[in-house]
Chain A
Amino acid sequence: MAEEPKLAEELKKMEYEPLLPVEKKLISYSLILGTVLLGFLVWISYTFFPAGH
């Protein structure tokens, strides 16, 4: 019967992987899109779905 893998061992096995440029892009695009969309979605909500404002 295979032994259940231990978390500590699994984490020890983990190798360091530097943050790739593509990952940095993914993170920054996601945050920028989130911020831009925030304004747009708030405008749509307040304009077309008013409820108490």
Chain B
Amino acid sequence: MEEKKLGISEDWLSLWLGSFIFILSLFVFAGGDILGWGISTKEWKDVSKAMSPVSKSYVGVKGEITKIDGKKLTLKKADGKEEEITVTEDITTVKVGDTYEKKGVSGFMSLVMTYLFMLLVMTVGAAAMRANIGRFVIGFTIVFWISYGCWLVGHYAYIAATNAAKSGVPWSLKLTGEAGFIVALLAGLAVGNFFPKFAESLKEAIRPELYIKTAIVLMGGLLGVKAAESLGLATAVMFRGLCAIVEAYLIYWALVYFIARKYFKFSREWAAPLASGISICGVSAAIATGGAIRARPIVPIMVSSLVVIFAVIELIVLPFMAQTALWKEPLVAGAWMGLAVKTDGAAVASGAVTDALVRAKAMAMEGINYKDGWITMTATTVKLFIDIFIGVWAFILAYIWCAKIECKPGQKVGAGEIWNRFPKFVLGYAITFFLLLVICLPASKAVQPVEKEIGILKDEITMAEKQLPSATDPAALAALNEKIAASKEKVKGLSDQIKMPKKTIADAKTATSASNSFRVMFFVLTFFTIGVVSNFKKLWEEGIGKLAAVYVLCLFGFIIWIGLVISWIFFHGVKPPIVTG
């Protein structure tokens, strides 16, 4: 008899893994950018220039010194561009005109270090889950390198460039670098459907839910910084997201349950998990509902297999529909992904693709440069609220089933079920989000009004300087010069006043960009592994037709469209901040 392996769940593990990487990234506040070597991938024509460490402090730079200001050097690089660097060593011997070189980590080395770090962290996680370590290490290695290869391909200028001329290519698909996600998904689908033996050999490392949940924990911090800069908008997104899912639960579930029972003659045991799977949150909702009404395990398992397949179809189709129809309403598009696409992985992933596609289109059509991440944040917020409410919904169903429909022997309904079903990784997301919000909010509040004042003063200086050549009266000239000097002095004083809060925000951004480098890698792994687990042959299984029919009818018949209407009602007119300067 096989011994039952009892390890930590993927849900808890993602909380610990995400929190661990997040904590490492926070060392920036203590002066140590210890994750800055993480890989960052740029759009490329020459692949050797595609990769670099995410933090500037790890990037090597060489050039002619054009300016020396204390420990700051301005270098003119070979490409003619100037870059300011801060050095730590003694530079009293260098002078303007000298060539200076700062050694750094190469792009490929950064990738190798990212791989080794993730392998180490994930292997510890695999051990905690009591997975087969040998198979995991091999599987993860293959999954990592294929996924990264896809990510790199997606950044090829002919695929990614939103402005072909600027990128030096004659044409481009204009898909942005996030096309790498789609490439990874397609590669995963090819492996899962055409190379089943190979897919089986990777099984230990094919864990899309673990990867996406870890990514979501890491994303919390990033979004915390964004929220600190636009608190009103972030609060509105959260409250409206909550409203949207209350509506979705009440309308979606009831309609799907009714159609499955009335027109497809499914029994209650099948109809309830099916309604939750199609309408709410895919796999976890189907399992939670199956548990709540004491359905046999086969029911949610069968429903879940369909959920995964259709989520992939949605993931491929809906972001492009959103780009076409909703580029003027970016947050409607984000909420729509959260409400319509099932499973955490596919929903958040489609939010990320939509983020890139919609921003690129807004830029191309109207020159509006929306700040990145807000569409993903909206999709994620909506999806996380849905996740949180699964436990509540399962509890309500269990209570109704036991009290009014059929109470199975030994069935007890306790509020403890709400906690048992609560997705624990959401705690990690909430902690990382609020921690960085608390760190950055006072700093942001201190900086914003002062920067506004500095902006006004700088405008005044520019205006006064323009008047200088035409001022002939010595008294007027002196007054203008005095005004300019006073304004410059005031700007300096104000800049000094916000030095510390600005440093706090800069540190927070450095920390989150380092953790974001790993978040992106977890996203890519999610896309590839979602593809691998999506076995379309399941659709040919005998008997699946009736189940698939109700799924297709409900999902494409009204779930997607009701989701769109709800998203529109709560999010139309709500726009992400725009990049200025």
* Residues on A facing B (Cβ under 8 Å): 5-12, 14-17, 19-20, 22-23, 26-28, 30-31, 33-35, 37-38, 41-42, 44-45, 48-53
| Residues 242-270 of B at the A interface (beta carbon under 8 Å) | 243, 246-247, 250-251, 253-255, 257-258, 261-262, 265-270
Interchain CA distance A26-B17 in the complex, whole Å = 41
Tell me how far the C-beta of B397 lies from the nearest C-beta in chain A, rounded to whole angstroms.
Answer: 9
Q: Given the interface contacts A17-B268, A22-B405, A49-B235, does A10 sit within 8 Å of B298 by beta carbon?
A: yes
Complex contact A23–B270 (CB within 8 A): no
B253–A52 touching, CB < 8 Å: no
Contact of B254 among A17, A31, A41 (CB under 8 A): A31
Q: Are A16 and B405 in contact (CB under 8 A)?
A: no
Q: Which of A16, A37, A48 contacts B265 (CB 8 A)?
A: A16
Given contact pairs A7-B547, A42-B569, A27 touches B254 in the complex (Cβ within 8 A) = yes
Q: Contact check, A19 vs B261: say whether CB atoms are below 8 A apart.
A: yes
CA distance A32 to B39 in the complex (A): 51
Q: Which residues of A contact B543 (CB under 8 A)?
A: 6-12
Chain B proximity of A13: nearest CB distance (Å): 9
Q: How far is the CB of B301 from chain A (nearest CB, A)?
A: 9
B332 to chain A, nearest CB (A): 11
Q: Is the CB of A49 within 8 A of B298?
A: no
> Can you name 18 A-B pairs with beta carbons within 8 Å?
A6-B542, A7-B302, A7-B541, A14-B266, A14-B267, A19-B261, A26-B257, A27-B255, A27-B258, A31-B255, A37-B250, A42-B569, A42-B570, A45-B239, A48-B239, A49-B240, A51-B574, A53-B574
| Closest chain A CB from B42 CB (angstroms) | 32
Instruction: Say yes or no: B569 contacts A51, CB within 8 Å.
Output: no
Which secondary structure characterizes the binding site on chain B? helix
B404 and A30 form a contact (CB under 8 A): no
Closest A residue to B297 using CB positions: A5
Q: Give CA–CA (A37, B245) in the complex, Å.
A: 12
Given A27-B257, A49-B236, A49-B239, verify A34-B247 contact (CB < 8 Å).
yes
In the complex, which residue of chain B has the Cβ closest to the Cβ of A40?
B243
Closest Cβ of chain A: how far from B413's Cβ, in Å?
A: 16
Chain B residues closer than 8 Å to A45, beta-carbon distance: 236, 239-240, 243, 570
- Residues A34 and B268 in contact, CB atoms below 8 Å apart: no
- Contacting B250 at CB < 8 Å: which of A9, A12, A19, A31? A31
- Do B254 and A7 touch across chains, with their CB atoms under 8 A apart? no
Task: Tell whether, in the assembled complex, residue B267 and residue A34 are in contact, meaning their CB atoms are under 8 Å apart.
Answer: no
Are the CB atoms of A41 and B247 closer together than 8 Å?
yes
Question: For the complex, is B80 an interface residue (Cβ under 8 Å from A)?
Answer: no
Residues of chain A within 8 A of B261, CB atoms compared: 17, 19, 23
A10–B258 Cα distance when bound, in Å, is 21
Chain B residue with minimal CB distance to A34? B250
Residues from chain A with a CB closer than 8 A to the CB of B236 are: 45, 49-51
Please give me the 3 A-B residue pairs with the lowest Cβ-Cβ distance, nearest first. Answer: A8-B543, A34-B250, A51-B236
* Minimum distance in angstroms from A45 CB to a CB of chain B: 5
Bound complex: CA A33 to CA B249 (Å): 11
Q: How far is the CA of A34 from the CA of B543 in the complex (A)?
A: 34
Instruction: Report how far A42 CA is from B235 CA in the complex, Å.
Output: 15
Whole-angstrom distance between the Cβ of B454 and the nearest chain A Cβ: 27
Name, among B302, B541, B543, the residue most crowded by chain A CB atoms within 10 Å (CB to CB): B543
From A20, A35, A38, A49, B569 is in contact (CB under 8 Å) with A38
C-alpha spacing A45/B238, complex, angstroms: 10
Nearest Cβ on chain B to A19's Cβ, whole angstroms: 5
